[in-house]
Amino acid sequence: MSFKVVIDQEGCTQCGLCYSDECPEVFVEGPDGTSEIASKYQEGSPDNGNVPDDLKECVQKAVDVCPVSVISISS
């Protein structure tokens, strides 16, 4: 099973916590420092992903740590 992850990239402050610290398996640094979904999990665009359930804990940590709350999860 998998779940959906969306990054509101316009709100991302490029702090790097999601891709450098909490969940580099799923989040990567884009060209200008904005967070993107790793290419293997992307669905159509860099701000949209479909991620296997075994990475949910890691993504949830990124959701919790993001200082501007721009990462969201849905099933």
> Which positions touch ligand SF4 (CB under 6 A)?
7, 12-18, 35, 66-68, 70-71
Closer residue to ligand SF4, CB minimum distance, 1 or 7: 7
Give the type of residue at 38.
Answer: A
Q: How far is the CB of 22 from ligand SF4 (least distance, A)?
A: 8
**Beta strand extents in 1-75 (DSSP E only):** 2-7, 27-29, 35-37, 48-52, 71-74
Our CB check for ligand SF4 shows the closer of 1 and 74 to be 74
Rounded to a whole number of angstroms, the minimum distance from the CB of residue 63 to ligand SF4 is 9
